Structure 1
Amino acid sequence: MSPTLSEQIVLVTGAGRGLGHAIARAFAAAGARVVVNYRASRAPAEALCAQLGDGRALALQADVTDPAAVAAMLAAARAHFRTPVTTVINNALADFSFNGDARSGAEAIAWEEFDAQFRGSVRGALNTIQAAVPGMREGGFGRVVNIGTNLFQNPVVPYHDYTAAKAALLSLTRTMAADLGPAGITVNMVSGGLLRSTDASAATPEAIFDLIAAGTPLRHVTTPEEFADAVLFFASPWARAVTGQNLVVDGGLVKD
């Protein structure tokens, strides 16, 4: 029987703010113990842990692109909770503003912009998975959920670097699922569109939110809290036979 959410130790990367904040809250509300990872957002990360209370949340600083820092974070989490991390949510995002008017177009974008996104999305996820897998193997159970985007199915905005990195992360999701499945570790992705609202989407004009809402069957732009519900599904016992999948959560805007 798969552990319930309340039995899991969950690492949420980039949880100091935005979507990660909402995901960490959702896991804590379900009874899980949560590692709130942050790179620079120390004050909001620590404030969140204080709000969650009862010693069930721990704020830990680490740049997920640094494998040594990630390994130290996993070790600190294990020492604090006296058991390994069971569940990894790869949410951390390299600095990015979701404002199409401010992004580099096809003729101007530089490889360095792609490199920054690949390091944040793919290298960051690789580091956390590799650091967490030994503990998962030890317990015979593991859950990895990578955060993706619906833009590689519906590239309506020229986020070339961000979208390419998330597409690569989907490939990593599927190859890791095949590799780690025999150890009882599932690897899935939850992909959203624009969320209303996070720090990353704060620069998005209101007219764009309204346009997206009008294009969905629900006539609604997904919130971080709604997105977090789908992340919890993949970590829950109800998803114990699901791996290598990508679930698009955007109100029905994109059909995968």
Structure 2
Amino acid sequence: MNTSKLFDLEGKTAIVTGGANGIGKASCKMLAAHGAKVVVSDYDLEAAKKTAKEINDEGGKAIAIDCDVTKDEALVSLVEKTIEKFSRIHILVNNVGGGGAGKESPYDIDVKQFKKVYEMNVFSMWRLCQLVAPHMKEAGYGSIINMSSMASINKSPAISAYASSKAAINHMTRNLAFDYGPDEIRINAIGPGAVRTHALSTVLTPEIEKRMLAHTPIKRLGEPEDIAGAVLYFAAPISKWTSGQVLFVNGGGEQTLD
């Protein structure tokens, strides 16, 4: 068996939304390290440019494109600019997400805020899948990776919009696998546990971390690279018969405060 080709992304083009920081940045760098040309897409263009420069300085190939995923014209432009630059699209990492724990009490938010979470987390993913699928079919290779969350299966207060949107991503992914499978396009989702990102660092204390790890067999929080490894698996030929799956990467447990 020739194992050298199983993770080889040479000649492939990948779009990563929310690619400037955290899990998105780690995913961009992981894909580039294995040969992919990477489009670092982010609302913050300057941050996206910095990530792209890091990749290029390390010998990879990347460009930055600004994109507000809640605007359809921005999604269309992202795909068009990618084709203009690299001619093909083979991989899409739908990483952008918003909302979260403690911010979504039904006593405090309204329908407009609830809808905004779905526009960012669900509608944008579905639309980008629709936009890239014809290009993947033409290229003869397609892998779509949607970023879900452990919140999609956990139950907690003040997180109903975010959690239900991530649950929607899981089932949307499973169903779209049937739509895109005949065109040899695989679609899967990743559900990260608690990962050391900037957002988490703003609320994390030693006490909170200890409580979060009480039900986690691997006694540490995740790192962005842990999730990027799962992204690589789904993006690469090694997973060529894997579709419609949701992979939870969480140290074997749940990082809750219960």
| Whole-angstrom distance in 2 between the partners of 1:73 and 1:55 | 20
Q: CA RMSD in A?
A: 1.9
Paired residue total: 247
Please give the TM-score of this superposition, normalised by the length of structure 1.
0.90
| Whole-angstrom distance in 2 between the partners of 1:138 and 1:152 | 33
Q: Which amino acid aligns with 1:127?
A: R
Sequence identity (%): 29
Q: Which amino acid aligns with 2:129?
A: I
SS in 2 for 1:88: strand
User: Contact 2:104–2:161 at 8 Å: present in 1 too?
Assistant: no
SS in 1 for 2:39: strand
SS in 2 for 1:28: helix
Where does the alignment leave 5 or more consecutive residues of structure 1 unmatched? none
- Who is 1:85 aligned against? 89
- Who is 2:173 aligned against? 173
| Whole-angstrom distance in 1 between the partners of 2:50 and 2:136 | 29
* Structure 1 pair 226–250 and aligned structure 2 pair: CA distance change class (3 A): same
User: Contact 1:99–1:203 at 8 Å: present in 2 too?
Assistant: no
Selected match of 1:68 from 70, 73, 84: 73
Selected match of 2:36 from 32, 43, 61: 32
Please give the TM-score of this superposition, normalised by the length of structure 2.
0.89
SS in 2 for 1:186: strand
- Who is 1:43 aligned against? 46
| Whole-angstrom distance in 2 between the partners of 1:116 and 1:203 | 23
SS in 1 for 2:200: coil
User: Contact 1:10–1:35 at 8 Å: present in 2 too?
Assistant: yes
Q: In the TM superposition, what are the counterparts of 1:171-250 in structure 2 within 5 Å?
A: 171-196=171-196, 198-206=197-205, 207-250=207-250
* Structure 1 pair 84–2 and aligned structure 2 pair: CA distance change class (3 A): farther
SS in 2 for 1:200: helix
SS in 2 for 1:25: helix
SS in 2 for 1:221: coil
| Whole-angstrom distance in 2 between the partners of 1:110 and 1:205 | 28
* CA deviation vs aligned residue, 1:45-95 (integer Å, no higher than 9, x gap): 1111111115710100111122222122111111112x211100000123x
Instruction: Give the deviation of 1:126 after TM superposition.
Output: 1.5
| Whole-angstrom distance in 1 between the partners of 2:183 and 2:238 | 18
* CA deviation vs aligned residue, 1:182-216 (integer Å, no higher than 9, x gap): 000011000012211x2332332323222222321
Selected match of 2:24 from 2, 7, 20: 20
| Whole-angstrom distance in 1 between the partners of 2:185 and 2:165 | 23
* Structure 1 pair 71–55 and aligned structure 2 pair: CA distance change class (3 A): farther
User: Contact 1:6–1:31 at 8 Å: present in 2 too?
Assistant: yes
* Structure 1 pair 166–143 and aligned structure 2 pair: CA distance change class (3 A): same
Instruction: Give the deviation of 1:169 after TM superposition.
Output: 1.2
| Whole-angstrom distance in 2 between the partners of 1:4 and 1:232 | 10
